[in-house]
Chains A and B, each alone.
Chain A
Amino acid sequence: MTDQVNPERDITIEVPLLARVEGEGSLEFTARGGHIEKLQLCIFEPPRLFEKFLEGQDYTEVPHIAARVCGVCPIAYQMTSIRAIEKIFGVAEDPWVHAMRRVVYYGEWLQSHALHINLFAAPDFLGFADALQMASHFPDEVRRGMQLQGLGNDMLRLLGGRSVHPIGLRVGGFHRAPPKHEVADLVDKLLAAREVVRDFAEWAIGLPRPEDEQDFVGVAIRHPREYGLNEGRLMSTGGLDIDFAAYPQYFGEHQVEHSTAHYSLMNGERYFLGPLSRMNLNFDRLPLEIQDFAHDMGLHFPSNNMFMNVAARALECYLAIVDTLQILQHYHLPARPWQEFTVRAGVGHHCTEAPRGMIYHRFELDEKGRVLAATMIPPTSQNQACMEHDLHVSVERFGLHHPDDELRSLCEQVIRNYDPCLSCSTHFLKLKVNRDSDAGDSDPAVPGVALPC
């Protein structure tokens, strides 16, 4: 039990996060007289300029350029841009292409979710300083998570050609249909991993996660038959039910002084994206095997506990393997792995579910298929208002009587729960603390954040 400190002390916590990957962010936290005055997540992600880079490019270049927005979830950027362009060209997805797109997207989910649960969330819940410390106490669990992460990469490679910035996707479908022997090899791995992922999910769901009930509106894709992933309609737990093309009518971005990333609001209100929102809106779309498993584990959706995000991620890992098996066990070689189309001018919109939440793209092309305008709105910036609100509520509930390092630790955990592509070492936030009542308690700043999505 740590010593309590005066909750009415003046607190100024500055968390200047520096990262060199794809973005930077920091946290500023000020409290006086026992009240939070300022608690801001400042994403000072440098201008990425990808939307401008895309202007003037031929549509065939878009998937490869868009993939570079994010090294963790390139499929999300490729798939969303491809489908937005296909909407312009009037391409109705062929069933084979649709199914294979789910496989490659599941690969991205599996590698991203397994990495997050295994190395970033679990150390928080188990009280370890970092994944390295946890690995020496839970080597089998860490190996298992890495095995699933590797399997996700295998799924990405089957159709993408490689796991980092895949090159197999194109407007119309894929450049190559995997031969049956490659699919059979992956099916063998997936069959072997079925029990592994179940054990992994059981372990992840059983982690001592905090209770953090919050009032939020979840937004996710919902499909008539499938778990929302790459097709469907945009829905919310508050009753939204719109076509992807209507996104600009309901969602708006604005700038704030403390962050270079745009904030997004839905009808003027914050909203929450990611695995928990997907699960809240799509639990009945899970295969019965996984629904039964969730019930057996005592899970109930919808849930307003923010930290059920990790349980939802675990269920989505299970889903990724079960659904991919279902698809690939009935694999057949298509006559051609892409669909024909006619290039034409127009505007197309599409949304898909990146591992950490819904992503929206809008493309405008000229008659030769060159990009006139591109808009790509990633989940992390959409979640930013919700993250700030979450931080505020969580800190108030936790209490300012806790020492600064515990407050910092709480803030880290809350932010990490969104898996916002932040550099996820448990030391990613270092605090500079200046209190009027306790001058001299200070810390140097730094380490890494990556905010690619």
Chain B
Amino acid sequence: MQGIPILQFPGWRCRVERHDEAHFALPWFARGDTVSILVAGLGSECGADAFGWEVLRALESCGLPKTVNLMLCRHPGELMMPLLGADSAIIIDACVGGEKSGMLRRLRLEDIEGGERQLHGFGLVEVLRLVMALGVSPARLQILGLTVATPTAGLDPEWVSDGVRELVQILSEPLPAAALSSGKGC
């Protein structure tokens, strides 16, 4: 797909767009910790719903550290065990919102509450609440959302580039202290 960034790990030299090179420091890995990070793309092959998958596909060929696990996910229920097994997690999803399409937002749980529930009444909110009830710290969970105006919106390749750039930015930021304080479970 044109516009999808090419990233090289390790070394953190990332070409995010054809004319835009950037360097990223990734302190989570640079310190040599064995922190496992789950990066989950939630969606499908269809239109803007493919956002999370396309971002992960762009990352997949970049030689990510072994401690980063990429997961293409069709239903939030699939995330439950992986979230419990990771030290930290980033979930990438497209969401229908009032803002203009293509806006990237770092979301909190309360931002996505009240949305449509899914199979068995278990949507992303219910899954996150459940894993938190099982001890997962909210500080170790991040949600990266792409707003789209309608559920039938198509996917702009630029949004994927933006998503990768933002994801790498998240990975570049200091890991929340909570993520390093205990064993598995985000």
Contacts and interface: CB of A to CB of B under 8 A. Distances in A.
Interface of A: 20-21, 71-72, 115, 119-120, 131-132, 135-136, 139, 142-143, 146-147, 149-150, 153, 162-165, 421, 423-425, 428, 447-448, 450
B185 to A, nearest CB: 9
B75 interface: yes
A423 B117 contact: yes
B1 interface: no
B135 interface: yes
Contacts of A150: 80-81
B133 A132 contact: yes
Nearest to B122: A119
Given A132-B129, A132-B133, A139-B134, A424 B121 contact: yes
Contact of A149 (B81, B121, B126, B129): B81
B9 to A, nearest CB: 25
A424 B81 contact: no
The 7 closest A-B CB pairs, nearest first, are A423-B121, A150-B81, A135-B133, A164-B74, A425-B121, A71-B119, A448-B121
B133 A149 contact: no
B103 interface: no
B118 interface: yes
Contacts of B120: 72, 115, 120, 421, 423-424, 450
Given A139-B133, A146-B84, 13 more contacts: A71-B75, A71-B119, A72-B120, A115-B120, A143-B134, A146-B81, A150-B80, A163-B74, A164-B74, A164-B75, A428-B121, A448-B117, A450-B121
Interface of B: 74-75, 77-78, 80-81, 84, 116-122, 126, 129-130, 133-135
A71 B135 CA distance: 28
Given A132-B133, A139-B134, A146-B81, A20 B119 contact: no
Contacts of A425: 121
Contacts of A115: 77, 120
Instruction: Specify which of B74, B75, B134, B135 lies most central, judged by the most chain A CB atoms within 10 Å of its CB.
Output: B134
A165 B46 CA distance: 15
B74 A20 contact: no
Contact of A447 (B77, B121, B130): B121
A428 B81 CA distance: 25
Contacts of B118: 21
Contacts of B129: 132
A153 B116 CA distance: 24
Instruction: Specify which of B80, B81, B121, B134 lies most central, judged by the most chain A CB atoms within 10 Å of its CB.
Output: B121
B71 to A, nearest CB: 12
A312 B167 CA distance: 46
